[in-house]
Amino acid sequence: LRVLVNPVVRPLGAETYASYEGCLSIPDLRGLLPRHTEVEVSYLDPAGHGHVERFGGLSAGTMQHELDHLDGILFPDRVEDPTTLCTWEMFHAHRQDAWVESIEPLLARFPGEPAAR
């Protein structure tokens, strides 16, 4: 469990990757959207101590996704091409393999990342 009080996310550079995201707030939907490849997050812990952490790869996307919620933003708000929206079943059947292949270089750059499958 990680508690972030008043988090601020800052991109580290202009590089982005195409993240195929879903969310428990919108069950059975996925969509393709840009996320920054590397971010820095500053925040306070529950005791009021300041922290700054850097995240890269899929973890950077996850932090951006979760912190968007604090601003009332859900992933479809960031989807640039609505034709990429699909169900989980459609994603697994028709889009997952190509997406995983497209992010393999990203996963190689950030080896501590969880597997995309």
| Residues annotated catalytic, as ranges | 66
Contacts of 67 (CB under 8 A, 6+ apart): 4, 7, 9, 41
Structure tokens that stand for 40 in this block: 């820095």
CB atoms within 10 A of CB 89: 9
Upper half-sphere CA count for residue 5 (Cβ side, 13 Å)? 7
Q: List strand residue ranges (DSSP E) for 76-116, in order.
A: none
Shortest CA distance to 11 belongs to which of 49, 44, 37? 37
